[in-house]
């Protein structure tokens, strides 16, 4: 019984220690450099270059867009998801035009 209580207390304190650690900031996919992307698990220089090339053609709108990159599948995405983010850019409002005819003078 004593062993069980000691183990339980150790687990509680370990959980508190893990919860108290600050979370590392996520890497923004649309602005990250190749050097920053290479630090991610499973991302080497070629895949990092492919990510940069893909985002110059069409910026990422969500993390799931990484599936467009050759070599990144569902398992890789699951491993990368907690480490990366995509900043949401506000959309510009479309210019409005009045449908009323302009008065002639």
Phi, psi of 84, rounded to the nearest 5 degrees: -125, 165
List own/partner pairs for 60-68 with CB under 8 A and 24 or more apart: 60/29, 60/30, 60/86, 61/86, 62/86, 63/29, 65/29, 66/29
Separation of alpha carbons 92 and 85, rounded Å: 21
Within 10 Å of residue 75's Cβ, how many Cβ atoms? 9
Separation of alpha carbons 57 and 32, rounded Å: 15
Sign of CA dihedral 69, 70, 74, 80: negative
Q: Considering the entire predicted model, what is its pTM? A: 0.63
Query: What domains lie within the chain, and their CATH numbers?
Result: 32-85 (1.10.150.320)
- pLDDT per residue of the chain (105 residues) written in tens, 0 to 9: 777 676 766 666 666 655 545 677 899 999 999 999 999 999 999 999 999 999 999 999 999 999 999 999 999 999 999 999 998 765 665 666 666 666 676
């Amino acid at each position: 019984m004593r062993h069980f209580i000691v183990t339980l207390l150790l687990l509680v304190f370990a959980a508190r220690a893990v919860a108290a650690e600050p979370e590392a900031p996520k890497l923004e996919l649309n602005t990250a450099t190749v050097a920053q992307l290479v630090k991610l698990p499973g991302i080497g220089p070629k895949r990092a270059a492919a990510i940069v090339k893909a985002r110059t053609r069409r910026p990422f709108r969500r993390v799931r867009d990484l599936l467009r990159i050759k070599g990144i599948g569902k398992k890789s995405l699951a491993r990368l998801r907690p480490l990366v983010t995509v900043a949401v850019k506000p959309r510009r409002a479309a210019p409005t035009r009045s449908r009323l005819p302009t008065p002639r003078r």
